Structure 1
Amino acid sequence: MAMEIPVDKQNHERNKNMAGNLKKQSPDCQENIEQLVSERTAHLNEVIKQLRAELEAYKAQETSNPGKNPDPNNILSDHHISHKALTESALSHSQLEVIFAAFNDVVILYDTEMNVYQANQPFYGNYGFDPTGLNVKEIIDRVRSRWLDGVTRSFMEQPTSRALQGERVTGLRFIVRKSNGSEVIVESSSGPVKIGEKIVGSLTVWHEIRELTGAERDLLAHKESLEIAEKESEQRYQDLFRKSPGAIILYDGISILEVNPAVGGLLGYRKAEELIGGKFLDVIAPEYREWVSSRIPLILNEDSVSSLKKIDLVGKAGNLIHVEAVGGVCYYHGQKVIQVIFHDITGLKNLETELRNQSAALSHAVVTLETILDTIPIGVIVAESEDGKITYCSSAAKEILDISAFGIVKDLVPGEQRRIKMLHPDRSEISPQEWPLAKALRNGKTIENEETIIQHEDGWEMATVISCTPLRDNNGQILGTVASIVNISKRRQMESALRESEERFRVLAEALPQLMWITDATGKFTYLNRQFYHYTGIPINQLIKQDWTQNIYQDDQEKRMEVWRESFRTGNPYQMEYRIRRHDGEYRWFLGRGLPMRDQQNNISYWFGTCTDIHYQKQLELELQETNSRLHKLNQQMVTTLEEERRMISRELHDEAGQALTALKMYLELILKGLPSDTSIIGQGITEAVKLTDQTLKEIRRLAQDLRPPALDALGLNVTLEDFCYEFSKRVGLGIQYRGCELSPLTDAVRISLYRFLQEALTNVVKYAQSDLVRVRLGSCRQRIFLVVKDNGIGFELNPEVLKGKSMGLIGMEERLSILGGVLRVHSRPGFGTCLTAMIPGRRLE
């Protein structure tokens, strides 16, 4: 085991120096501290030699008698220190007590955790408590330990900490307080306790040198107060440094040493510490770096403070930040450095820029306003209240008042030689003191739309409207007045022309035979001509008040209101027919029209409408409708009769003529067979007769088929149409593609109508289309049956003239379909063929 408390020459010199310093710090101390230190050091060396000798003797005994109980007079034992304790051979408590009892000085044994393992009796006697188990920090606090030089050291600089690191520390002096309240100077020696090369603890010896004198105590108290004040001052500075809204940077002339959080916010760094270690000039805008560099030596060498300077900094994102900077010298860890405080003036700079911009904008606005005022036809005058000086007069005002330059108000009326006069609308003259501008300056009252007549020297007159408004400051004092003068001569002329136009309109409106009305933009009636009174017998005012539309026939009211609302919503004209009650109670038909009248902005300003009596025309129309209805029924009856006749003729041709010709053919063939061979001429004649009879029979059958195909009744519409297309194609050499399906039971009228439609359509294709292919389709969709015939012929241009002169075939198709409530649709284009579609409603299918 190595237990050493070394005292070497170097430590001895350090103790001598410390004693000298203490003499300087406390001149009242008369004791020769250096001598005491030397004597005590010699005594400790003697003790150490004795301990070493005893240790060697113990080791020799252990080597010769292993496991034997140690001699109680020996100092060391085999008890392990701190789980082998302090030595491999161990020390017993009694032996430790013997070791500690050999010293009059305080001896403390620490474990590796710096907790007190054991202390000797002088510690108990001097300090009055058991330190066992206490940490070195607690010991320092309990004895109020302070360094003699008054310097505060970190915990790692304490001798116990250093001893555990393997260092031998001697000659350190500090002050402790005993249990009796006295304060003494002790010298500490500490060293490691080892087992082999392993440090298992430390041993510390406190040697009491002397008690503090009053002067030393006062001096230390003063130092402590200074240290506390310095700490408080440093703490206040640190608080101000951290919490300052201004950005603060400490730098040594080159590198940044410290920054406060505000710097990060100013320059856009998430953590301001990112700047530490960087170059200070890097955060300065390039155009200011030369100036900043020139100020650094002046501040450091002369301890001067730079005046406020507006510069730009460079943010993390490369943006420029406008700041106001001030710098000065301070000390940072004993080093002279420069402290710079930046105040963000970006907002102020922006405000200055905005103010300049607003000032420029205001000047521009004034120029623009004057330009506008000089271009508008309204005259504007601005005059001051104190002396009536005119500060602004627009071009229109100069022209109206016949002046060429600014002056004062009274200059406009220089005595009897004034160049203009002002007259009331009744042509009575207005005295100059009562001119609107003069009254406004004098009384401070607003004058609105005062009509005057301005008369010039040459007798030329102008009707005007003058308005004056006083200009006041925040206290209500009149600063001046602004006057507007409007030339209303043209307006007067226009009003006169408008009155004349309205009079002409009224004369024309009253002379019209129609009922005429006008509403405002909201639809409220504002005018009805006298024809309303003559027709209804109700006074005009009463009709306008109660709404004359109440006289419309009840059944027509709802429809008329629906049409009117839609027209009012869309702004479109409307036209409709309705009945209006006459003064004798009779309702007559009228054609009502409404037309929106729009202003220059295309907004509806009013509605104009007429009601024209169409009663006689309506009666003729009803009679015509009735006649058309009768004609339609007659046509339907004719078609039905015609089809019946065709059916009968077809049947007779098929049954009577067909059978007779068949019988004739058979007789002729029998005669031909019975003729002798020498009658060849007669045989040839009979053969020709048989051929003619056969040809006539086929033609009669074809005619019967065209008049009324028997298959239509027997096989249905789809098969009949398909068969007809086949026969027609074979007869005329036209390609026909048919596609259809059998439909639900159809009436005879529907079947024959669609059959005739196909006949006529294919006939037209052969006549006009120049087509080689026709597609025919029969089907139904959405309660409608349709038959489509589409060719690939030359087509034609669809226009009213063509449709107006369409063939009888198309007319016949339309007539047939209309009888069944159906329609004919024609689609054609030159070069793309023609498509005819017949459509019949589903209610006609059964």
Structure 2
Amino acid sequence: MTDESDDMKVVALQQENEELRQQVAKLELMWTVGTRDEGMYRTLVEHSIQALVIFQGEGIAFVNTAAAEITGYSVEELMGSSPDVINALTPPDQQALVWGNIHGHLQGIAPPLPFQYPLIRKDGEERWIELMSVRSQYRGQTALLATFIDITERKRAEEAYHSLVDYSLQGLVILQDQQVMFANSMMGVITGYEVGELLSLSLEGFFDLVHPEQRDMVRERVLACMTGSLVAPVYEFRLVRKPGKQVLWLEVNAVRISYHGKPAVQIACVDLTDHKNAEELLRESERKFRNVIEQSSEGINLTNEEGLYIEWNRAAEQISGLKREQVLGQPAWDVLYGLLPRNAKNMKMYEYYKGSIQAVLKTGQSPWINEMSERLFQFPGQDVADRYIEQRAFAIKTNKGFMLCSVFRDVTEKKQAERELRLSHDRLQQLNQQMTQIQEDERSRLSRELHDEASQSLTALLITLQLVHERLPASSSDLRHHLVDALGMTRSTMDRLRSLAYDLRLPALDTLGLNGAIEEMCEMFVRRTNIAVTPFVPPTLPPLSDDINICLYRFVQEALTNVARHSRASGVWVTLNYDPETVTVQVEDNGRGVDPEVLQRSGPQVGGMGLIGMRERLDCLGGTLDIHTGKGRGMSLVATIPWSKGL
């Protein structure tokens, strides 16, 4: 609804009313002329496009063709009709009003004109007419000359217009003559007042609804608009609602219109409160976002849907050496390509950066999206020419496509530390390997000495003691008893020395193989401890290196030693497996086990130096040690080594 349509309707109504008044005046003048012009008068009246009726007494004295067409009755049916026919033209609830106006006017009491009321046609259709009447003489008697037009379409248009206004989502108010002349229902909803309360407000009363801080501004603009001064029609102000004095933000469009023939100001209002609150929340969110972005220690950048940088935070400046103003508005591929080391720059690389970024902006997909990656860049003004940058990029969906955001940090120092750590680890592995070799050499030497020297000496001692025992007389019972004890101790010592020598020396792995050596070790363990051992070993193994064979053999040996010393187990299962990549040995017992929490706190110290040695040996070969245990549920040690690396 616009002020132009409102003005046009008002002007049309004024013109119709004026035409009716002029027509009545003409007809009244013709009656006054007398019978000498009656022929001309009848011709004019009968062919008039306006309906004409003469009421006289209780009936109709004259009716023209236009009136018959509007009512649906013929001229003959209407002429001289009884009150019943006339009543049939009027809805029952309107009959008293219509006849009251007609009789009153015949008696000299003029009703408000023009007069509008519904008319019922002969076919039952209801139409609206607008009637003008004048009291005069017809054929020597008092009569009421009435002319009317069909305003049904106009009434429907007005009803639609008023419905549109009243149910508009905009609040509408018309200010005129220092008061509120019109307000629709939405204006009542917005202000919290009933429409009747708004219509009772003076102009200043309406201004009192405006927030005090903007009241003078609104008053000045409304008064200027009412006088025809040129002012901006659209502006915003705060309004104080009636219930609870809640403050609303309104956007208004104030225009000067003609209302009932006089200048007025029509104000259309829209409640902007939710929009304003949302804007404030958005501003607050943007402030928080900006604070997070600027306080972040990681570089953050963001492109728009065209690939131009719209965000480059402080950390990004510090890491890259590029200022925010140097980057914003630049294509991401140009900036990133410019930061590549000189030896990495070529047209193929430039096209790669440009194409891959544009693909993300279009589809949101790329192999490197949402993946952590490392790049080597050369930043201006940096002490170290090449810097390692770790970054993760992700796409942000928008209505126009995708934006690209990257989070990155300088990991050059981290990479250097990792390199030094790897070097230290490599050196440690070399030392461990050397130490392992030294240990094996020392074990072999001790084993030989125990076998070649100590064992031979004990054998000679045993023979001598046996000879002495045989030559002692039977009467030397005490001495013979001591010799028996000495012989037993010597034999026991020899057994322990042989066992120790066996443990110290490596079996002939090149002849027995790891599987055969493990089976032999299990047999020896059963004989020494009386603990049942079940080995599960394959008949053949891939060609393992000497280091792997020695490491896994010592692992099983140390694991069985731990079982004998700590587990209180009655059974042990040793399993050797391999696949195309790794070889695995598992030693599992049914002993008392270890509480996992204790193992978590104590780590390898639970098994003494044995577990530590296992881990170190395995680590030197890139292997791992897994421990599975539970209190009262035994323990399982699993050693895994990538055997292909040992070839």
The TM-score, its normalising length taken from structure 1, stands at: 0.42
Q: 1:708 aligns with which of 502, 505, 510?
A: 505
Partner of 1:404: 194
What's the CA shift for 1:740?
Answer: 1.6
772 and 676 in structure 1: CA distance in 2 versus 1, 3 angstrom threshold: closer
What's the CA shift for 1:487?
Answer: 2.8
What's the CA shift for 1:635?
Answer: 1.0
Establish whether residue 465 from structure 1 lines up as the match of residue 251 from structure 2.
Answer: yes
Partner deviation per Cα, 1:144-174 (whole Å, 9 max, x = no partner) = xxxxxxxxxxxxxxxxxxxxxxxxxxxxxxx
RMSD of equivalent CA atoms = 5.4
Establish whether residue 528 from structure 1 lines up as the match of residue 328 from structure 2.
Answer: no
Establish whether residue 826 from structure 1 lines up as the match of residue 624 from structure 2.
Answer: no
Establish whether residue 755 from structure 1 lines up as the match of residue 548 from structure 2.
Answer: no
* Distance in 2 of aligned mates of 1:527 and 1:705: 72
Would the aligned equivalents of 2:172 and 2:186 in 1 still touch at CA under 8 Å?
yes
627 and 693 in structure 1: CA distance in 2 versus 1, 3 angstrom threshold: same
Partner of 1:837: 638
* Distance in 2 of aligned mates of 1:779 and 1:686: 51
Please, which runs of 5 or more residues in structure 1 have no aligned partner? 1-369, 440-447, 469-480
Please, which runs of 5 or more residues in structure 2 have no aligned partner? 1-162, 175-180, 255-265
428 and 694 in structure 1: CA distance in 2 versus 1, 3 angstrom threshold: same
Partner deviation per Cα, 1:218-269 (whole Å, 9 max, x = no partner) = xxxxxxxxxxxxxxxxxxxxxxxxxxxxxxxxxxxxxxxxxxxxxxxxxxxx
Partner of 1:50: none
* Distance in 2 of aligned mates of 1:460 and 1:717: 89
Would the aligned equivalents of 1:380 and 1:482 in 2 still touch at CA under 8 Å?
no
Partner of 1:431: 222
1:10-25 correspondence runs (5 A): none
Partner of 2:100: none
* Distance in 2 of aligned mates of 1:734 and 1:748: 29
513 and 398 in structure 1: CA distance in 2 versus 1, 3 angstrom threshold: closer
What's the CA shift for 1:532?
Answer: 4.1
Partner of 1:817: 618
* Distance in 1 of aligned mates of 2:627 and 2:366: 37
421 and 788 in structure 1: CA distance in 2 versus 1, 3 angstrom threshold: closer
Letter of the 1:393 partner, please give it.
Answer: M
Partner of 1:698: 495
482 and 732 in structure 1: CA distance in 2 versus 1, 3 angstrom threshold: farther
- Structure 2 SS opposite 1:583: coil
Establish whether residue 746 from structure 1 lines up as the match of residue 530 from structure 2.
Answer: no
Partner of 1:730: 527
Partner of 2:517: 720
Letter of the 2:569 partner, please give it.
Answer: S
* Distance in 2 of aligned mates of 1:522 and 1:771: 71
Would the aligned equivalents of 1:412 and 1:419 in 2 still touch at CA under 8 Å?
no
Partner deviation per Cα, 1:301-349 (whole Å, 9 max, x = no partner) = xxxxxxxxxxxxxxxxxxxxxxxxxxxxxxxxxxxxxxxxxxxxxxxxx
Return 750-759 or 568-577, whichever deviates more: 568-577
Partner of 1:588: 387
Q: 1:452 aligns with which of 233, 236, 240?
A: 236
Would the aligned equivalents of 2:185 and 2:195 in 1 still touch at CA under 8 Å?
no
Would the aligned equivalents of 1:424 and 1:451 in 2 still touch at CA under 8 Å?
no
Partner of 2:579: 781
* Distance in 2 of aligned mates of 1:804 and 1:522: 57
* Same amino acid, percent of matched pairs: 27
Partner deviation per Cα, 1:712-766 (whole Å, 9 max, x = no partner) = 4553322322232223233223222222233334333222222221122223334
Would the aligned equivalents of 1:567 and 1:574 in 2 still touch at CA under 8 Å?
no
Partner of 1:644: 441
* Distance in 2 of aligned mates of 1:492 and 1:431: 23
Partner deviation per Cα, 1:355-413 (whole Å, 9 max, x = no partner) = xxxxxxxxxxxxxxx9xx99xxx9644899xxx976642764243xxx412699xx598
Would the aligned equivalents of 1:776 and 1:788 in 2 still touch at CA under 8 Å?
yes
828 and 691 in structure 1: CA distance in 2 versus 1, 3 angstrom threshold: closer
Would the aligned equivalents of 1:379 and 1:394 in 2 still touch at CA under 8 Å?
no
What's the CA shift for 1:537?
Answer: 4.7
What's the CA shift for 1:643?
Answer: 1.1
1:261-276 correspondence runs (5 A): none
Would the aligned equivalents of 1:419 and 1:457 in 2 still touch at CA under 8 Å?
no
Letter of the 1:587 partner, please give it.
Answer: D
What's the CA shift for 1:655?
Answer: 2.6
- Structure 2 SS opposite 1:839: strand
Letter of the 2:418 partner, please give it.
Answer: E
* Distance in 1 of aligned mates of 2:424 and 2:457: 47
Give the number of aligned pairs. Answer: 436
What's the CA shift for 1:707?
Answer: 0.8
Partner deviation per Cα, 1:518-565 (whole Å, 9 max, x = no partner) = 456998642113554465454534424132443266989999x99x98
452 and 746 in structure 1: CA distance in 2 versus 1, 3 angstrom threshold: closer
1:41-60 correspondence runs (5 A): none
What's the CA shift for 1:788?
Answer: 1.6
* Distance in 2 of aligned mates of 1:793 and 1:497: 65
Return 801-810 or 833-842, whichever deviates more: 801-810
What's the CA shift for 1:631?
Answer: 1.1
What's the CA shift for 1:682?
Answer: 5.7
Letter of the 2:644 partner, please give it.
Answer: R
What's the CA shift for 1:645?
Answer: 1.2
395 and 728 in structure 1: CA distance in 2 versus 1, 3 angstrom threshold: farther
Q: 2:453 aligns with which of 656, 665, 689?
A: 656
- Structure 2 SS opposite 1:431: helix
* Distance in 2 of aligned mates of 1:546 and 1:584: 22
Would the aligned equivalents of 2:376 and 2:387 in 1 still touch at CA under 8 Å?
yes
413 and 450 in structure 1: CA distance in 2 versus 1, 3 angstrom threshold: farther
1:33-44 correspondence runs (5 A): none
What's the CA shift for 1:683?
Answer: 5.2
Establish whether residue 634 from structure 1 lines up as the match of residue 431 from structure 2.
Answer: yes
785 and 421 in structure 1: CA distance in 2 versus 1, 3 angstrom threshold: closer
Would the aligned equivalents of 1:783 and 1:843 in 2 still touch at CA under 8 Å?
yes
Would the aligned equivalents of 1:779 and 1:785 in 2 still touch at CA under 8 Å?
yes
Give the number of the structure whose alpha-carbon radius of gyration is greater: 1
460 and 710 in structure 1: CA distance in 2 versus 1, 3 angstrom threshold: closer
Establish whether residue 393 from structure 1 lines up as the match of residue 186 from structure 2.
Answer: yes
**Which one has the bigger helix percentage?**
2
* Distance in 2 of aligned mates of 1:638 and 1:567: 55
Would the aligned equivalents of 1:774 and 1:792 in 2 still touch at CA under 8 Å?
yes
751 and 613 in structure 1: CA distance in 2 versus 1, 3 angstrom threshold: closer
* Distance in 2 of aligned mates of 1:798 and 1:523: 54
Would the aligned equivalents of 2:340 and 2:377 in 1 still touch at CA under 8 Å?
yes
* Distance in 2 of aligned mates of 1:509 and 1:818: 43
1:319-338 correspondence runs (5 A): none
842 and 712 in structure 1: CA distance in 2 versus 1, 3 angstrom threshold: closer
